[in-house]
Structure 1
Amino acid sequence: MDLRQIEYFHLVARAGSFSAAAKSAYVTQQTLSASVASLEQEWGIPLFNRRRQGVELTAFGEAMLPACEHLLEEAASLGGLVDRYRESVAQTATFAYASASLQQQGEGFTLEGLARFRADHADADLRVFELTSDACLSALAQGEVDLAFVVGEPDPAQFSFTKLVDAHLLVALPADHPLALKEAISFRDLAGVPIFPTPDLKETYHRIVAGFERYGLKPNYVPLPFSLENAQRFVRNGEGVDFSPEHNADEPPEGIVYRPLTPEDAFTLPLGLAEKRGVPQSPLMAELKEFILAR
């Protein structure tokens, strides 16, 4: 028994003939008749008395008709639920970006551009989270996030990655710090200087540690919670320095200057979009990705 057989039985019962029911279902009379006959054979009891002038329900057919009508109504309701769910999924997405990786405005993909996309899709449920780079990847792995804007290329076995730009790190210094007079800073210059805080991305941390180790040094990280505001306050107050994305130097906060690393110590990390492999994209997420890549 399948739903199509129940539907054909219902059509014949309401139409009073196989030919009229077949026309309303846009199938041949032979197809519809065979389907109903198959249902009768499965149940072992006739549903119709077949006569030259048409058909009429047997007592069993009359008993089964209300139950079959109820089943068809439930199926239609379920179909509507599926359609509503598909529509909901199409208009739902979760996006995360690494703290300090997105500049407020300017060229490329920015927070201003993200706000514009959300405004243009006011009826959609686009949830946005600001996390650390590693937390973005963890959320992707656990299915809590659909798309993430991260620093550093993630594990290709688990994530697909679309590179957008190379992220250059600068050293943020108090404006009155002696090192602020230098055109470029080496890791040797930062010996013993407090650094805020341990980077939110393991790859950045390893690169910085390796840079210090070339001079037989270790970075002096301070144990403070990560946030861009905390980092800028730390530097502005003269407590130490911070490794910061170069876009933060476009409009430097008062009391802070940015200097590049020396050529022998400088390094870059890719910045781009990460997705968990094997997870289908919702239409909204596909549209957001296209929007970001077009910037």
Structure 2
Amino acid sequence: MNLRQLEYFLTVAAEGSFSRAAGVLHMTQPPLSQSVLQLEKQLGVQLLVRHAQGVSPTEAGRLLMEQGEHLLQWSRRLEERLSAMGQGLAGSLHIASVPTFGWSHLPPLLQAFADTAPGVEVELSDPVPSEVLAQVADGSADVGFVATSDTGLLAAAHPGLAIELVAEMPLLAVLPPSLPDLPDPLDLSALAGQTWLLPLPAPGFPGLVEIAEAVWRETGTRPGSVRYVSTLQTAVPLIAADMGLSLMPRSVADVAGPRVQVRRPVQQVPPLHAAMVWSRHMPPSPVLERFLAVTRETYTGKL
């Protein structure tokens, strides 16, 4: 039994006549009659009683009328669902994003995507940058966001990933409570000899360490020591506890609030670049294609 046969039978049973059903279906009566006869033959049961006034359903026909309508409704819903998935309007999307991008930039982006594709189920994770790249590369995440000092070097180190710049994140000096009297803006040479808190460097991932080293070269200074942390977010409570200082986007520094000191650098400190990454080896799903388009539209003209 196929869905067309079922639709033909339900129409005949509802109209009580092959001729009236043929008119509703915009077809001639002979192929309609043949289709119902073939259906009865396939099922091995009589579905309609033919009489002078038209047709009436048998007990088996009444059961098929009741259940068949549900089946057609389910089929239509399935067709609509599959069509929506083909247009990127339904399905699922796993996003892996470093918190540096996720806290301030991801919420408006997710809202814009939800407005255009409300049927898509979004799953979020916030691993460290190297793990974001690994998840995208192995397909466990559809798309990722990282913060890097150099998108060109990042792309060269990871040729299997498509990498696209979406936003720049200017950096501020975030200082412990023990340094309340430093001016704003701040000459970063005043931080010579201090303990710096920086994310642990990862092979093939240029990040804040490279920016800090550029600052030290420009100012002709060196830190007293460098302490490595897993993420910039990990550094925030350490800075608040007078255990060091760092450079970070305001969105990260704002987490600590008044517990830390924030200063604008006098020097032209290179920003972190928020980059969107996805696999070159796996064709993007319609959902991912739609998300990439929404991201580009959201950040157009904001670099």
Instruction: State the TM-score, normalized to the length of structure 2.
Output: 0.58
Deviation at 1:219, TM superposition (A): 10
Alignment-derived partner of residue 256 in structure 1: 261
Matched, 1:6 2:6: yes
Measured at CA, do residues 85 and 227 of structure 1 come closer, stay the same or move farther in structure 2, by a change above 3 Å? farther
Rate the CA distance shift 1:159–1:69 in 2: closer, same or farther, 3 A.
Answer: farther
The whole-number CA distance in structure 2 between the counterparts of 1:119 and 1:234 is 36
Counterpart residue number, 2:25:
25
Q: 1:163 to 1:96 in 2, by over 3 A?
A: same
Residue type of the alignment partner of 1:279? S
Contact 2:167 2:299 in 1 (8 A): no
Distance of 1:202 and 1:244 partners within structure 2: 17
Aligned match for 2:285, one of 276, 279, 283: 279
Report the CA distance shift for 1:44/1:128 in structure 2 as closer, same or farther (over 3 A).
closer
Distance in 2 (alpha carbons) for counterparts of 1:254 and 1:13: 76
Give the 3-state SS of the residue equivalent to 1:281 in structure 2. Answer: helix
Say whether 1:183 aligns with 2:179.
no
Number of the residue aligned with 1:207: 210
Q: Is the 8 A contact 1:166 1:269 kept in 2?
A: yes
Alignment of 1:231-270 (within 5 A): 231-245=235-249, 253=258, 255-258=260-263, 260=265, 267-270=270-273
What is the identity, as a one-letter code, of the residue corresponding to 2:245?
Answer: V
For residues 26-41 of structure 1, the aligned pairs below 5 Å read 26-39=26-39
Q: Tell me the amino acid that sits aligned with residue 256 of structure 1.
A: Q
Q: Deviations over 1:4-56 (max 9, x none)?
A: 112213333443432111122333334423433544565688866878x5655
RMSD of aligned alpha carbons: 5.6
Instruction: Choose which of 77, 82, 94 in structure 1 pairs with 2:78.
Output: 82
Deviation of 1:165 (Å): 2.6
Deviations 1:112-131 (Å, cap 9, x if unpaired)?
x569869989x987666655
Structure 2 residue 294 is matched with structure 1 residue 292: no
**In 1, distance between residues paired with 2:74 and 2:195?**
65
Question: Per the alignment, in what secondary structure is the counterpart of residue 100 of structure 2?
Answer: coil
> Retained in 1: the 8 A contact 2:47–2:61?
no
Q: Once the two structures are aligned, what percentage of the paired residues are identical?
A: 21
Q: CA deviation at 1:176?
A: 6.0
Q: Which moved more, 1:67-76 or 1:249-258?
A: 249-258
State the TM-score, normalizing by the size of structure 1.
Answer: 0.59
Measured against aligned partners, the alpha-carbon deviations of 1:221-252 in whole angstroms (never above 9, x if no partner) come to 53656453x52332344322323136668998
Q: Does 1:73 align with 2:76?
A: no
Gaps of 5+ in 2: none
Q: What is the aligned counterpart of 1:195 among 174, 194, 197?
A: 197
**SS where residue 100 of structure 1 aligns?**
helix
- CA distance in structure 1 between the aligned counterparts of 2:106 and 2:47, rounded to whole angstroms: 67
How many Å apart are 1:72 and its aligned residue?
A: 0.9
SS at match of 2:58: helix
- How far apart, in 1, do the equivalents of 2:103 and 2:174 lie? 16
CA distance in 2, matches of 1:71, 1:98: 50
Question: Residues 171 and 185 of structure 1 are in contact (CA less than 8 Å); yes or no, is this contact kept in structure 2?
Answer: no
On the 8 A contact 2:132/2:144 being kept in 1, the answer is: yes
Listed as ranges, the gaps of 5+ residues in structure 1 are none
